[in-house]
Amino acid sequence: MRDPIERVRDMLDAISAIERYLDRGHDEFEKDELLQGWFVLNLQILGEAAKGLPESVRALAPEIPWHKIVGMRNVLVHGYFEIDTEIVWRTAIQEMPALRPSLERLLERIEGEENQ
């Protein structure tokens, strides 16, 4: 089982994986099924890692929309035949850059607590 530090790192790694391909742009994303699958997979990883975090860790970063992240994961995993690529793209372009700093602060905090 992964500890909270590993899970937050997993979330940051998933964001990095998505960000590596954002520069291809929306048109390329809409045309490329592999790119769409890459984004979906990493959003699933992000949500799975968030889902596995203890509530006590989530409470350290109340500005993060935990329920939305986990909810999106649930849609992507269980409603895969209904995935709206426009929502996936908007999430990647708007939410990922905003989420990174909050997760980095959370990681610093829980690493600091572990080292005490």
- DSSP for the chain, please give it: ---HHHHHHHHHHHHHHHHTTGGGHHHHHHH-HHHHHHHHHHHHHHHHHHHTS-HHHHTT-TTS-HHHHHHHHHHHHH-GGG--HHHHHHIIIIIHHHHHHHHHHHHHHHHHHHT-
Out of 9, 24, 26, 78, which one is annotated catalytic? 78
Identify the pLDDT of residue 3: 95
For 55, the domain range is 4-114
Out of 2, 26, 73, 109, which one is annotated catalytic? 73
Identify the pLDDT of residue 114: 79
Predicted confidence (pLDDT) at residue 90 exceeds the cutoff of 90: yes
Our count of domains for the chain comes to: 1
Q: What is the pLDDT of residues 38-83, one digit of tens each?
A: 999 999 999 999 999 999 999 999 999 999 999 999 999 998 778 9
Q: Is 78 a catalytic residue?
A: yes
Identify the pLDDT of residue 110: 96
Q: Is 73 a catalytic residue?
A: yes
- Global pTM reads 0.93
Predicted confidence (pLDDT) at residue 116 exceeds the cutoff of 90: no
